[in-house]
Chain A
Amino acid sequence: MTVAWWCSSTPGQIWTWRYTPFIGVWVVAATFIGGYLLAHRRAGRQVDPRLLRRWVLGVLALFLVSEWPIGQLGVGYLATVGIARYIVYTFVAAPLLLAGLPDWLVVRWFPDGSRRRRVLAAVTTWPIALLLFNAVLFGTHLPITVDTLKVTQLGSFGVDVLHLGAALIWWWPAMQKVPAGNAIEEPLRAFYLFASSVLMFVPAAFLTFSPLPLYGLYELAPPLWLGFDPTADQQAAGVMMNIGGGLVLWAIIATLFLRWAAAKEAEDTAARRVRNEATLARIAALEAETAGTPGAVGLDPDRPASAD
Chain B
Amino acid sequence: MSSPRSARSSRPPRVRTLALLLVAGLLAAACGPASATAIAAQGLEPGPDGWRGIPLERERSMPEATLLDTEGAEVALHEAFAGTPTLLFFGYTSCPDICPIHLAAIASAMGTAGVSFDDLDVVFVSVDPDRDTPERIDDYLANFSRHMVGLHGDLAVVEDALAQLDLPGPIVEGPDPRGEGDLIGHPAQVIGFDADGQALRTWPFGARRSDWISDLPRIVEEWS
Contact = CB atoms under 8 A, between A and B. Distances in A.
Interface of A: 4-6, 8-14, 16, 18, 23-24, 27, 42, 76, 108, 147-148, 151-154, 157, 211-213, 215-217, 219-220, 222-223, 226-231
A11 B104 CA distance: 16
A152 B30 CA distance: 7
Interface of B: 4, 7, 26-27, 29-43, 96-97, 100-101, 104-105, 108, 112, 140, 143-144, 176-178, 205-206, 208-210, 213
B97 A222 contact: yes
A12 B177 contact: no
Contact of B143 (A157, A217, A226, A230): A226
Contact of B100 (A10, A18, A27, A226): A226
A178 B17 CA distance: 33
Nearest to B142: A227
B115 to A, nearest CB: 15
A11 B4 contact: no
B33 A5 contact: no
Contacts of B35: 10-13
Contacts of B208: 212-213, 216, 219-220
Contacts of A10: 34-35, 38
A154 B101 contact: no
Contacts of A153: 29-32, 34
B30 A226 contact: no
Given A10-B34, A10-B35, A13-B34, 7 more contacts: A11-B38, A12-B97, A108-B4, A152-B30, A152-B32, A220-B101, A226-B100
A6 B30 contact: yes
A217 B177 contact: no
A101 B176 CA distance: 47
A242 to B, nearest CB: 23
B101 A223 contact: yes
B143 A14 contact: no
24 contacts: A10-B34, A10-B35, A11-B34, A11-B35, A13-B34, A24-B30, A42-B7, A108-B4, A147-B42, A151-B34, A152-B30, A152-B34, A154-B30, A211-B112, A212-B208, A216-B43, A220-B208, A222-B96, A222-B100, A223-B97, A227-B104, A228-B104, A229-B104, A230-B104
Given A14-B96, A153-B30, A216 B176 contact: no
